[in-house]
Amino acid sequence: MPTKPEQEDVVIAEKNRAAEARTRILMSAARRFRSQGYVATTVREVADDAGMLLGSLQYRYAKKEVLLVAVMESAVERTTQAIRQAIADKHDVADRMRAAMTAYLDTLWCGDDALYVLLYDWRALKGGDRERAAQLHERLFALFDGLFYEAAGAGYISADIDIPTLRALWLGALNWTADHPPAKTAGEVSELLWTVLTEGASRRRIRAD
């Protein structure tokens, strides 16, 4: 009979194999969904790309919609983690906002297939699956909303500005760069957006300087 340490080693090895299989599946699915579209992609293609039997994939993800939501969830986890890490050692509100925008753009521009799927393929979902996707988006929105409320509390944003609407417009501008990358670094774009947010973009700002 295996000893307790040996049994624990077996459990750890099984968990590692399961995690590796999950990573392969989600990366393969994200790559397929982005390159040829969610609707055109079959679960068999994803299984082949991941190097596993179709039945093994379907055991983990019973339908393609569940797989799509899992890809989106992985994108939200990585993106929110990147933003939280970027702002962890920042205490000034302006520094936190700029760091968050830079981290988001870096993630968006690194070619993460799952993040593109999160941005564009949620429309293919219906019913409960679509509600789940909406909840994932809300996790990301809530993180940015919190930062915008911090900025408002520090006097950078007027109290009469609707924060969720402002955040939606701001994220829309950031997401636009996914397909139209500017000739600037993520830090430069973040600095520009922060300047426009806090000082405006009119000639009056230049004259005031």
Tokens representing residue 65 in the block: 């919609």
Rounded CA separation 125/172 (Å): 21
Report the CATH number that the domain containing residue 97 is assigned in CATH: 1.10.357.10
Residue 116 lies in a domain: yes
Distances from the Cα of 94 to the Cα of 34, 36, 99, 135, 146, angstroms:
34, 40, 8, 28, 13
Domains held by the chain: number: 1
According to DSSP, residue 161 is labeled S
Residue 69 has pLDDT above 70, yes or no: yes
Residue 197 lies in a domain: yes
Residue 186 lies in a domain: yes
pLDDT digits (tens, 9 = 90+) for 74-105: 999 999 999 999 999 999 999 999 999 999 99
The pTM score is: 0.85
Residue 95 lies in a domain: yes
pLDDT digits (tens, 9 = 90+) for 123-177: 899 999 999 999 999 999 999 999 999 999 999 999 899 999 999 999 999 999 9
Q: Domain of 9? A: 4-202
Residue 119 lies in a domain: yes
Question: What was the pLDDT predicted at 9?
Answer: 52
Cβ contact 106:43 at 8 Å: no
Residue 109 lies in a domain: yes
The mean-pLDDT minimum among 6-15, 62-71, 176-185 falls in: 6-15
Element (H, E) at 153: helix 127-153
Tokens representing residue 21 in the block: 């299989």
